[in-house]
Structure 1
Amino acid sequence: MVEWALSGFGDEIDDDPVIQCAVLQALGAQHLEVRSAWGVNIVDLSEQQLAALQELLDAREMGVSAIASPIGKVSVELPVQHELDRLDRAIAAAKALGTRYIRIFSFYYPGSAESVRDAVLERMKALAARAEQAGVVLLHENEKEIYGDTPERVLDIVRSVDSPALRLAWDAANFVQVGVRPFTEGYAQLRPYLEYLQVKDAVLADGTVCPAGQGDGELLRTVEALRDDGYTGFASLEPHLADAFALGGFSGPAAFGVAARAFASVLDQAGVVAK
Structure 2
Amino acid sequence: MRADQLAGIGDEAAAALPEQIAAITGLGWSGIELRAVDGHALADLDSSRFLRVHRAVRAAGLRVVCLDSRIGNWSRPITAPPTADLRELDVLAERCASLGTRYIRIMSYLSDGLDEPEWQARVLDRIALLSDRAARHGVVLLHENCSGWAGSDPERMLRLVDAGGPCLRLLFDVGNGVDHGYGAVDVLRRILPHVEHVHVKDAVGSPGHAEYVLPGDGNARVRDCLRMLLDHGYTGAFSLEPHLLTRPHEGLAATDPAPFLQAGRRLEELLQAAPTGVA
- Structures share fold, TM-score greater than 0.5: yes
Question: Which residue does 1:189 correspond to in 2?
Answer: 190
Whether 1:261 aligns to 2:262 is no
Query: 2:13 touches 2:23 (CA, 8 Å); kept in 1?
Result: yes
CA-CA distance at 1:249 after TM superposition = 5.4
Q: How does 1:1-275 map to 2 (within 5 A)?
A: 2-73=2-73, 74-111=76-113, 112-144=115-147, 146-150=148-152, 151-159=154-162, 161-183=163-185, 185-205=186-206, 206-246=209-249, 250-251=253-254, 252-270=256-274
Work out whether residues 223 and 275 of structure 2, in 8 Å CA contact, stay in contact via their aligned partners in 1: no
- Identity among equivalent pairs (%): 33
User: Secondary structure at 2:64's aligned position in 1?
Assistant: strand
Q: Shift of residue 152 of structure 1?
A: 3.0
CA contact (8 A) 1:2 1:227 kept: no
CA distance in 2, matches of 1:70, 1:202: 23
Letter in 1 for 2:25: Q
Question: What stretches of structure 2 of length at least 5 have no aligned partner?
Answer: none
Contact 1:176–1:207 under 8 Å retained in 2: yes
C-alpha separation between the residues in 1 aligned to 2:89 and 2:258? 33
CA contact (8 A) 1:67 1:101 kept: yes
Query: What amino acid is the match of 2:197?
Result: Y
C-alpha contact (below 8 Å) 1:240/1:249 kept by paired residues: no
Letter in 2 for 1:240: H
- Deviation, structure 1 residue 247: 7.6
In structure 2, relative to structure 1, the CA distance for the partners of 1:124 and 1:5 (3 Å cut) is: same
Report Cα offsets for 1:134-168 as digits up to 9, x if no partner.
11111111113x11221232222223x14111011
* Alpha-carbon contact 2:172-2:188 (below 8 Å) kept: no
- Aligned-residue offset at 1:39: 2.6
Q: CA deviation at 1:244?
A: 1.9
- 1:78 corresponds to which letter in structure 2? A
CA RMSD of aligned residues (A): 2.0
- TM-score calculated relative to the size of structure 1: 0.91
Whether the 8 Å contact between 2:64 and 2:99 is mirrored in structure 1 is yes
1:176 deviates by 2.0
Q: Write out per-residue CA displacement over residues 178-225 of structure 1, whole angstroms, 9 at most, x where no aligned residue.
A: 211111x21221011100010111225442222111112111111111
SS in 2 for 1:189: helix
Secondary structure of 1:117 counterpart: helix
Aligned equivalents of 1:90 and 1:70: distance in 2? 11
Determine the C-alpha separation between the residues in 2 that align with 1:36 and 1:243: 11
1:93–1:201: structure 2 CA closer, same or farther, 3 Å change rule? same
Shift of 1:113: 3.7
Equivalences, count: 269
Unmatched tracts of structure 1, length 5 or more: none
The question of whether the paired residues in 2 share the 8 Å contact of 1:23 and 1:253 is answered with yes
TM-score, normalization: structure 2? 0.90
Instruction: Evaluate the alpha carbon distance shift between residue 33 and residue 243 of structure 1 in structure 2; reply closer, same or farther with a 3 A threshold.
Output: closer
* AA partner of residue 128 (structure 1): S
